[in-house]
Chain A
């Protein structure tokens, strides 16, 4: 099945594109998709390990199983800033 991956901030700079379509086996979870991306772009590994994940604009745990046409985004740590 196909899912959509979008990249922002540091991830986009590493990957060199805004988005791509990923073909994954049925039953793949977020962690599985992340492993696939690390295999494709080894420089993503450290930042993906620090990132949260969102599916269809909601934060989800890494064991969330993906569905056809899901939009997957990894959210690197947010800047925050001292209060």
Chain B
């Protein structure tokens, strides 16, 4: 299937992403959901704000998903990233990988999130009780 890639300011819909990758030949579905945490580097976080270079982000994600397809045969993948203000406990990113057997789904999902975090032009700003700052590294 063509991968599902969403970069959106709307709340993410996990169930819809799982439905999109489900298929009769699938034996395992791995979901990674990144959620906003109330603390970071000793600061108490109020909320996060995400920004992206959307066209390039989508292109980079497409490339990462294609690498996962080639390395682990992960043919059914959905990646969704939310932008804008995201509150504590809400999802900022969801990755769903469905494969015939679970090992490939775990590996591919881990690869996609780790690579996404380092190469896809999406930034987060932490807004804490002390102030706000774009996070680097």
Chain A interfacial positions (CB closer than 8 Å to B): 6, 8-10, 12, 50, 54, 57-58, 73, 75-81, 83
Contact = CB atoms under 8 A, between A and B. Distances in A.
Interface in B93-137: 114, 117-125, 134-137
Contacts of B34: 81
B66 interface: no
B117 A80 contact: yes
Interface string B48-77: 000111011001000000000000000000
Contact of B136 (A6, A50, A54): A50
Give the 4 A-B residue pairs with the shortest CB-CB distance, closest first: A9-B123, A77-B136, A79-B135, A57-B56
Contacts of B124: 79
Contacts of A12: 51
A68 B135 CA distance: 33
Contacts of A58: 56
Interface residues of B, number: 21
Given A10-B123, A76-B134, A81 B56 contact: no
Nearest to B122: A78
Given A8-B123, A9-B125, A10-B123, A78 B51 contact: no
B136 A8 contact: no
B53 A80 contact: no
Interface in B11-68: 34, 51-53, 55-56, 59
B52 A81 contact: no
Given A10-B134, A81-B135, 6 more contacts: A6-B53, A54-B121, A75-B121, A78-B117, A78-B137, A79-B136
B55 A57 contact: yes
A6 B55 CA distance: 12
Contacts of B121: 8, 54, 73, 75, 78
A76 B123 CA distance: 8
Nearest to A6: B53
B132 to A, nearest CB: 10
A79 B41 CA distance: 13
